Structure 1
Amino acid sequence: MSEERTTSDPARRRPSAQHVEWHWATPQAQLILGSGDLGAIFRFYRSVHGLNQTQLGQRLGYDKTYISAVEVGKRSLEDIGSRRRICDQLRLPPHVLGITDPADSDHRAMLQFGESTVRLAEIARQSGHASAAVAELWPLAARLEARAEDGHTERDALRLLAHARVGLGVALGNVLPEERLSTAAHWTAKSLPIARHFDDPRFVSYVLRMHGNELRKAGLRGAAVERLRHATAIAPDLETRAAALPLLARAAGALGSPRMFDKVTRECTALLDSVEHTSLFNPFALHEIRLRGLVATGRTAAAVRLAENPPEPPLTVAPQWRVIELVTASHVRLLGGDDKGAVESLDVAIQEAARQRLPHQLQRIVRTAGKRLPDIRHSATHALEQLRADIAA
Structure 2
Amino acid sequence: MTHSGETNEDAPRPSPRHAAWRWATPEAQAVLATHDLAAILRFHRRVHSQSQTETGALIGYDKTYISAIELGKRRLTDLDSLRHIAAQLSLPAHVLGVTDPADTDFRALVQFGQSTVRLAEIARQAGHASEAVAELWPLVARLEARTRDGHTEREALRLLAAAQLGLGTALGNVLPEERLSTAAHWTAKSLPVVSFFDEPGLTTTALRMHGNELRKAGLTGAAVSRLVRAASVAPDRTARAAVLPLLARAAGALGNASLFDRAVGEAKALLDVVEHTSLVNPVALYEIELRGLISTGRTRVAIGRAEQNAPAATTNVAPQWRVIELITTGRVRLLAGDNRGATELFHSATREARAQRLPHQLQRILRAAGEALPAVRSTADDVLTQLRAEMAA
- Pairwise TM-score range, normalised by the shorter structure: over 0.9
Moved more, 253-262 or 190-199: 190-199
Query: 2-side partners of 1:388 and 1:16: how far apart?
Result: 42
Rate the CA distance shift 1:347–1:51 in 2: closer, same or farther, 3 A: same
Specify every segment of 5 or more residues in structure 1 that has no aligned partner in the other structure, as ranges. none
In the alignment, is the contact (CA less than 8 A) between 2:281 and 2:315 conserved in 1? no
Rate the CA distance shift 1:210–1:9 in 2: closer, same or farther, 3 A: closer
- Give 2:89's aligned amino acid: L
Deviation at 1:71, TM superposition (A): 1.0
Query: 2-side partners of 1:99 and 1:353: how far apart?
Result: 52
Rate the CA distance shift 1:47–1:386 in 2: closer, same or farther, 3 A: same
Corresponding residue for 1:252?
A: 251
Deviations 1:112-161 (A, max 9, x none): 22111111111111110101111111111111111111111121111111
**1:194-209 aligned within 5 A:** 194-209=193-208
3-state DSSP class of the match of 1:326? helix
Identity %: 64
TM-score between the two structures when normalised by the length of structure 2 = 0.96
Corresponding residue for 1:4?
A: 2
3-state DSSP class of the match of 1:293? helix
Deviation at 1:18, TM superposition (A): 3.0
- Give 2:340's aligned amino acid: K
Corresponding residue for 2:328?
A: 328
Deviation at 1:13, TM superposition (A): 6.5
Rate the CA distance shift 1:263–1:66 in 2: closer, same or farther, 3 A: same
- Give 2:348's aligned amino acid: V
- Give 1:163's aligned amino acid: A
Query: 2-side partners of 1:20 and 1:231: how far apart?
Result: 28
Deviation at 1:339, TM superposition (A): 1.1
- Give 1:122's aligned amino acid: E
Query: 2-side partners of 1:95 and 1:21: how far apart?
Result: 17
Corresponding residue for 1:238?
A: 237
Corresponding residue for 1:338?
A: 338
Query: 2-side partners of 1:39 and 1:316: how far apart?
Result: 55
In the alignment, is the contact (CA less than 8 A) between 1:53 and 1:67 conserved in 2? yes
Is 1:113 matched up with 2:112?
A: yes
In the alignment, is the contact (CA less than 8 A) between 2:253 and 2:295 conserved in 1? yes
Query: 1-side partners of 2:125 and 2:111: how far apart?
Result: 23
Aligned length: 391
3-state DSSP class of the match of 1:191? helix
Corresponding residue for 2:317?
A: 317
Deviation at 1:314, TM superposition (A): 4.0
3-state DSSP class of the match of 1:190? helix
Query: 1-side partners of 2:178 and 2:132: how far apart?
Result: 21
Corresponding residue for 1:130?
A: 129
Deviation at 1:7, TM superposition (A): 11
**1:87-236 aligned within 5 A:** 87-236=86-235
Query: 2-side partners of 1:281 and 1:68: how far apart?
Result: 58
Deviation at 1:6, TM superposition (A): 6.7
3-state DSSP class of the match of 2:105? helix
In the alignment, is the contact (CA less than 8 A) between 1:178 and 1:360 conserved in 2? yes
In the alignment, is the contact (CA less than 8 A) between 2:19 and 2:150 conserved in 1? no
3-state DSSP class of the match of 1:350? helix
Moved more, 310-319 or 254-263: 310-319
Deviation at 1:8, TM superposition (A): 8.8
Moved more, 100-109 or 352-361: 100-109
Corresponding residue for 1:269?
A: 268
Deviation at 1:70, TM superposition (A): 1.0
Query: 2-side partners of 1:348 and 1:170: how far apart?
Result: 24
Deviations 1:192-226 (A, max 9, x none): 11112212101101100111101100111111111
Query: 2-side partners of 1:295 and 1:108: how far apart?
Result: 50
- Give 1:142's aligned amino acid: A
In the alignment, is the contact (CA less than 8 A) between 1:204 and 1:231 conserved in 2? yes
Rate the CA distance shift 1:16–1:135 in 2: closer, same or farther, 3 A: farther
In the alignment, is the contact (CA less than 8 A) between 1:17 and 1:91 conserved in 2? no
In the alignment, is the contact (CA less than 8 A) between 2:276 and 2:314 conserved in 1? no
Corresponding residue for 2:369?
A: 369
Moved more, 247-256 or 22-31: 22-31
Rate the CA distance shift 1:334–1:72 in 2: closer, same or farther, 3 A: same
Query: 1-side partners of 2:29 and 2:284: how far apart?
Result: 41
In the alignment, is the contact (CA less than 8 A) between 2:257 and 2:296 conserved in 1? yes
Deviations 1:324-378 (A, max 9, x none): 0000000000000111111111111111111111000000011111121111111
Moved more, 304-313 or 8-17: 8-17
Specify every segment of 5 or more residues in structure 2 that has no aligned partner in the other structure, as ranges. none
Deviation at 1:9, TM superposition (A): 5.3
In the alignment, is the contact (CA less than 8 A) between 2:330 and 2:345 conserved in 1? yes
Deviation at 1:101, TM superposition (A): 3.4
Moved more, 147-156 or 279-288: 147-156
- Give 1:281's aligned amino acid: V
In the alignment, is the contact (CA less than 8 A) between 2:12 and 2:57 conserved in 1? no
